[in-house]
Amino acid sequence: MPASTNLLLGEKLNRILKNVSRTLYLSINIMPQRIKGVMGLAYLLARAADTLVDCQRLSAKEKDRVLKLFGEIDNFDSRKKVAEVAGKASSQVTAPGEKELLANLGEILSVYEGAEEIFRRYILDVLKSVVSGMKMDVAHFSDISVVSAFKTAKEIEDYCACIGGGPGVFWARIYNHHLKMKKRTGPDLDDARAVGEALQITNILRDISSDVKMGRCYLPLEDLKAVGVSPSHLKDKKNLSRVKPVIGKWIVWAVERLDNSENLLSSVPKNELAMRAAVIWPVFWAMDTLSEILRENPLDPDNKPRIKREKIYSTIFSSGPLLLSNTSFARGYRFRRETLIVKLNLPESSAE
């Protein structure tokens, strides 16, 4: 299949992308066509791997084999085998979007096969990064009958580097390739990596209750022991006050990395409105999600902390001045940052 300079996902694959991640779809859909297709393709492949790793009917050995195949998708036989596994596993998945994703993985891999060589290389690199993180999932959380946890802070940092930092670097590399054709310089990879890590830890903190239900505790054991709790305590929402110092620590870790977003946005030319929005929106949504995590109870399985759809769209509709001014973005970001830090420092009785 000849390589195409404009990688098109097509109507069906775009619908699948929208169904498995609405917010990411919104961010990707506004990008220039050349970038949009590559970003969407990489996400669909990574999401397919993640869905298979979460499939409870696959053994740890089978999951390791699947992840190995994803890291070798430049090989035709590997693409064929992983598509076969996904097709069979699709019947075991209940979420409609993920079921359709797995059922159509062969078609998605055909799009990958037809991409330009440089884009295939970038996609393969980011897949290897997220696959490394998924292997950590398989190694730590193979027994869902008990709640297991990462042991150290370094493990969760390494995990965020693989699952979030790698995609951040991928975004920057794709965009730098786009700008190079226009003879411009673009984002620093370290800034993109840091913001990506922050987005991942935000997801982890938002999903504590649903992860614990699956036997997964990403908060490190050494942090939990320091406040006198075990991973199983996270099953009970009444233990929030005991776990709050650990959650607060990792919110601060997220914010320290989100601080790089000011540099990241400054590196995006002001006439590249779509790419500026692709920085602004996820950062603001992450900050708003962290605020919700402090306002709600992330240990409560019936009340997952998340920003409302209206908030998502209000951020989109009010972002006009931010697209044209780095100062306006910095002002909006720092307001969210200061509000968040104030909430973190509130006395227990006032915070609840």
User: What pLDDT score does 266 carry?
Assistant: 95
Residues comprising the chain, all counted = 352
User: What pLDDT score does 70 carry?
Assistant: 95
User: Looking at per-residue confidence, does 351 or 146 come out higher?
Assistant: 146
Could you give the CA distance from residue 174 to residue 180 in angstroms, rounded to a whole number? 10
User: What pLDDT score does 6 carry?
Assistant: 59
User: What pLDDT score does 317 carry?
Assistant: 86
pLDDT exceeds cutoff 50 at 238: yes
Share of the chain above pLDDT 70, in %: 95
Do residues 87 and 102 lie in contact, with contact meaning Cβ atoms separated by under 8 Å?
A: yes
User: What pLDDT score does 350 carry?
Assistant: 36
Least confident of 27-31, 190-194, 201-205: 27-31
pLDDT exceeds cutoff 50 at 349: no
pLDDT exceeds cutoff 80 at 221: yes
User: What pLDDT score does 346 carry?
Assistant: 60
User: Looking at per-residue confidence, does 65 or 31 come out higher?
Assistant: 65
Taken in order of first residue, the domains within the chain and their CATH numbers are: 1-118 (no CATH), 143-352 (1.10.600.10)
User: What pLDDT score does 265 carry?
Assistant: 96
pLDDT exceeds cutoff 90 at 181: no
pLDDT exceeds cutoff 70 at 163: yes
**Mean pLDDT, residues 293-317:** 88
User: What pLDDT score does 133 carry?
Assistant: 96
**Mean pLDDT, residues 225-229:** 96
Mean pLDDT (the chain) is 90
**Mean pLDDT, residues 131-136:** 95
User: Looking at per-residue confidence, does 38 or 21 come out higher?
Assistant: 38
**Mean pLDDT, residues 279-284:** 94
